[in-house]
């Protein structure tokens, strides 16, 4: 049997990215939970976008937040039940549903902000700014490399 070990993989950033993201997700969930915030990362991102940009169509929200529109539909379902957002039909185009943040949603997001700031401080502790810049540069390049038409691309976006 051919023994193919794919050792190269371990020297690329791929596994590091994966592990770091996982750890960050744990870290974020834990910080939110331990402060009694019943908020997921996905929900937080949506609250942030709506908070900054105001009401928008589900499609746009899906595009901006890199989600499949079906995923977004259900995320909004959940958040609607929690009274973080509202859905309303756009009278100019009845296919469109506008999602907007509620007062309760704003309140929740505002509670999340200081926690996020803490997280940022902890995460970037001991990392030099120039190295952060390099990392962001690399991530951008990777995005450019893969975010292409070669992908049977996100028609849903």
In the complex, which residues of this chain contact a copy of itself (CB under 8 A)? 1-2, 4-6, 8-9, 12-14, 16-24, 26-27, 30, 34, 45, 48, 51-52, 66, 106, 110, 113, 116-117, 119-120, 122-127, 131-132, 134-143, 145-147, 151-152, 154
Contact 27, 66 (CB under 8 A): no
User: Residue 97 Cβ, how far from DNA at the closest point, in Å?
Assistant: 4
Select 32 or 58, whichever has its Cβ closest to a copy of itself.
32
* CB of 93 vs a copy of itself, minimal distance in Å: 28
Among 19, 53, 74, 140, binds DNA (CB under 7 A): 74
Could you give the strand order of the β-sheet that contains 97-101, starting from the edge strand earlier in sequence? 56-57, 97-101, 85-89
Cα distance between residue 84 and residue 43, in whole Å: 9
Tell me how many residues contact DNA (CB under 7 A): 33
Cα 83 to Cα 78: distance, rounded to the nearest angstrom: 9
Give the DSSP H/E element, type plus range, for residue 98: strand 97-101
Site string for DNA, 51-70 (x = CB under 7 A): ------xxxx-x---xxxxx
Tokens of 55: 């009401």
């Amino acid at each position: 049997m051919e023994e193919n070990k794919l050792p190269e993989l371990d020297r690329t950033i791929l596994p590091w990215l994966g592990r770091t993201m996982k750890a960050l997700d744990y870290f974020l969930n834990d910080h939110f939970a331990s402060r009694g915030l019943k908020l997921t990362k996905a929900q937080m991102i949506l609250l942030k976008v709506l908070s900054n940009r105001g009401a928008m169509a589900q499609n746009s929200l899906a595009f901006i937040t890199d989600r499949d529109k079906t995923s977004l539909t259900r995320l909004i379902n959940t958040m609607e039940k929690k009274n973080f957002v509202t859905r309303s039909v756009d009278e100019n185009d009845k296919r469109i549903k506008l999602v907007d943040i509620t007062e309760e949603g704003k309140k929740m997001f505002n509670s999340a902000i200081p926690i996020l700031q803490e997280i940022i401080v902890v995460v970037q502790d001991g990392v030099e700014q120039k190295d952060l810049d390099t990392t962001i540069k690399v991530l951008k390049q990777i995005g450019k490399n893969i975010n292409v038409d070669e992908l049977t691309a996100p028609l849903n976006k």
